[in-house]
Amino acid sequence: MRTDMNAFSHLGIDMQDVRARAEACLDTLFFDPQEKIYLDVDADSGCMVDTGNMDARTEGMSYGMMMAVQMDRKDLFDKLWTFSMRYMYQKSGIYQGYFAWSVDLKGHHNAEGPAPDGEEYFAMALFMASARWGDGEGIFEYSSQAREILRHCLHQDEMVQGGRAMWDRENKLIRFVPEANFSDPSYHLMHFYELFAQRADEADRPFWKKAAEASRHYIHMSAHPVTGMCAEYAEYDGSARLMFRKPYAFYSDAYRVAMNIALDTLWFGPHKALCDIATHLQDFYHGIQTEDYMACQLDGTMTDEHVMHPTGLLATLAAASIASSSAYRDEYLKRFWEMPLRKGTRRYYDNCLYFFSLLMLGGLYRIW
């Protein structure tokens, strides 16, 4: 399946314009003095800053690495990976081989435990770096590092005394954290697992193939049949799990599900149950302005709390056009193209989702 299709061509926007927009976004995110979310820390390392919390997270670090490999910026990739290994990588204890999910901007740990979405993005970005630039030595032997991460993800309980794997090997589902027996629908990256099934340790490749199908089924189970919304956190049966004192289910993490469905469709073809989710989401949000996006229950009942990341939500709704059959697909593309990157304190998460959505819609998010 071609992954270089420019969805914006429906609006008369050519690839030259898309590439220019992507380069401008990269420049803003990494170099603009006022709006960047990247920080040089050492001469050879740097981090992505969660500007709302003023820390560096494995989520953002691995996102930044994926951005860098897609945009052919080995210099940025290696700085991010150096920071991750120098300041986040756990060398001992029950989390040995994992990465501390949050550190301050000098690299001191705010937490010791890992967040599995960081590990899976790290591994995929490293595999792609290996394919695009070739393996180097030490921590820059990208493919070896990726396989080691996935080895810990699946076999931590066998490799480290007291450790726990990030995937439930019985049901093939990713855990919210290693200690949890529930999940986060937005963690399910079936398109990555299809590639892990080709590139991970040979003995684990059948697992990753089954995990891709298990995750597609899990997202289908988790999504509301009318609105298409998935919860931020969900039990293994797909039912919503309310956490962190939030009295609603569809919120920040959950926006990524539409983006993940889009990329899975782009790379490995449509799955009707998932494409229906994308369609339902676009149909539900049609006619609602970004400033009126509110935190929701899965059935679409809106609360009186505005969403924290409206730019990110619209970006992922636009990305859903890759999989959706909604009559409003092109309207979302137009709204997204006309929307600038977010500014201000909460720009980190929104602009990460914005950039990924731009890359996949513009045909620039490719398998390497």
User: What CATH number should be reported for the domain holding residue 298?
Assistant: 1.50.10.10
Q: Which of 50, 55, 59, 168 is catalytic?
A: 59
Q: Is 331 exposed, middle or buried (0-12, 13-18, 19+ CB in 10 A)?
A: middle
**Which among 102, 132, 165 is the end of a domain?**
165
- 171 belongs to a structural domain: no
Give the sign of the dihedral formed by CA 266, CA 269, CA 275, CA 279. positive
pLDDT tens digits for 9-51? 989 999 999 999 999 999 999 999 999 999 999 999 999 999 9
HSE-up (13 A, CA, CB side) for residue 277: 32
With 70 as the cut, is the pLDDT of residue 1 above it?
Answer: no
**Which among 165, 180, 211 is the end of a domain?**
165
HSE-up (13 A, CA, CB side) for residue 314: 25
Verify that 324 and 340 share a domain, yes or no. Answer: yes
DSSP H helices, 106-185, are 116-133, 142-159
- 295 belongs to a structural domain: yes
Three-state SS at 349: helix
Q: What is the pLDDT of residue 83?
A: 98
Q: What average pLDDT does range 190-206 have in this prediction?
A: 98
Q: Which domain holds residue 90?
A: 38-165
Count of structural domains within the chain: 2
pLDDT tens digits for 278-334? 999 999 999 999 999 999 999 999 999 999 999 999 999 999 999 999 999 999 999
Do 368 and 269 meet the contact criterion of CB atoms below 8 Å apart? Answer: no
Residue 91: partners with Cβ closer than 8 Å, 6 or more residues away: none
Verify that 103 and 232 share a domain, yes or no. Answer: no
Quote the mean pLDDT of the chain.
Answer: 97
Phi, psi of 247 (to 5 degrees): -90, 25
Could you confirm whether 253 is annotated as catalytic?
A: yes
Verify that 20 and 78 share a domain, yes or no. Answer: no
Query: 22-38: b or e for each residue (b if 16 or more CB lie within 10 Å)?
Result: beebbebbbeeeebbbb
Q: What is the pLDDT of residue 2?
A: 60
Q: How many CB atoms lie within 10 A of CB 242?
A: 12
**pLDDT grade for 345, boundaries at 50, 70 and 90:** very high
Verify that 16 and 47 share a domain, yes or no. Answer: no
**Which among 131, 165, 199 is the end of a domain?**
165
357 vs 344: CA distance, rounded Å: 20
For the chain, the helix, strand and coil percentages under 3-state DSSP, each to the nearest 5: 55, 10, 40
Verify that 30 and 47 share a domain, yes or no. Answer: no
Q: Which of 50, 120, 253, 350 is catalytic?
A: 253
Do 178 and 113 meet the contact criterion of CB atoms below 8 Å apart? Answer: yes
DSSP secondary-structure letter at 265?
H
Q: pTM of the predicted model, to two decimals?
A: 0.97
